[in-house]
Amino acid sequence: MKFSLLPVLCSLLCFLSCSVNQEIRLNTDGSGTVYGEVFLEDFFLATLQDLTDLNNPVEGDLTPMDPAVIESELKRNPYFDSVAISSEGPGRYRGTLSFHDVEDLFFSPEKGETGSVLSFSELDNRTSRLILRINSDNFQELFRLFPMLQDPGFQYFLPEPAITRQEYIEMLLFLFDENSLKNDRDMTSLLNTASLNLRINVNGTILSREGGTQLDESSIRITVPLLSLLLHEEELYYSVTFQSR
């Protein structure tokens, strides 16, 4: 599965589908663009549609998974400069999203508040810092970007409080079609190794970072272990400080 920065983080619920790779291009004033593609494996898509109402029409013949509906919901955020979502077939999406303040990617139109997953600060007129922090207190904010992920059916895929990693894996194995192409051993391995890969490209030169891997002078890659994220095993913290050229 691939998608952009925060469609990225919300797409984490679909981590069983494939790989997760996202990209954000960030300017020193906090504006930027996110890019990506989403691909959901057939077995995951079928299970998702069986357990949720996401296949039921909401606008004429359109369902919550239709690209036009997703795009319309994202455009409700007044801080997005542009949104474009397209689909090449069931479970296949491509999109771009531009913003003028990265902190507002988690803005909630209903609550009128900005989330705490992302924080951005301009340290001086040339230097800026982006911080990504995910913990048990702000995890639910990840649902804001994709309204379809707020469907009650998604609760089937989320771990109960205090559930162990092994119990959660067994629960997920039970939810998926036993006749899917992946046997239990393959699925267990996939669950344990699944990660969300986020690439951040800054319009400038990176001065320092905490967490992640620096790829070159202007980009880093962050690899988030998805079971750790879903189970809140620890707070996930990453930061990058950069300066305009």
Question: What pTM did the predictor assign?
Answer: 0.75
Query: Is pLDDT at 214 greater than 80 in this prediction?
Result: yes
Query: Is pLDDT at 174 greater than 80 in this prediction?
Result: no
Query: Is pLDDT at 159 greater than 50 in this prediction?
Result: yes
What are the residues whose beta carbons fall under 8 Å from the beta carbon of 213, sequence distance 6 or more? 220, 221, 222, 223
Average pLDDT over residues 15-41: 75
Task: Specify the pLDDT at position 10.
Answer: 39
Token couple for 191: 């669950």
Task: Specify the pLDDT at position 221.
Answer: 92
Parallel, antiparallel, or unpaired: how do β-strands 127-134 and 219-225 relate?
unpaired
Listed residue (163, 118, 124, 152) closest to 138, CA to CA: 118
Task: Specify the pLDDT at position 150.
Answer: 55
**Span 175-202, pLDDT tens digits:** 765 545 455 567 777 777 777 778 899 9
Alpha carbons within 13 A on the beta-carbon side of 224? 29
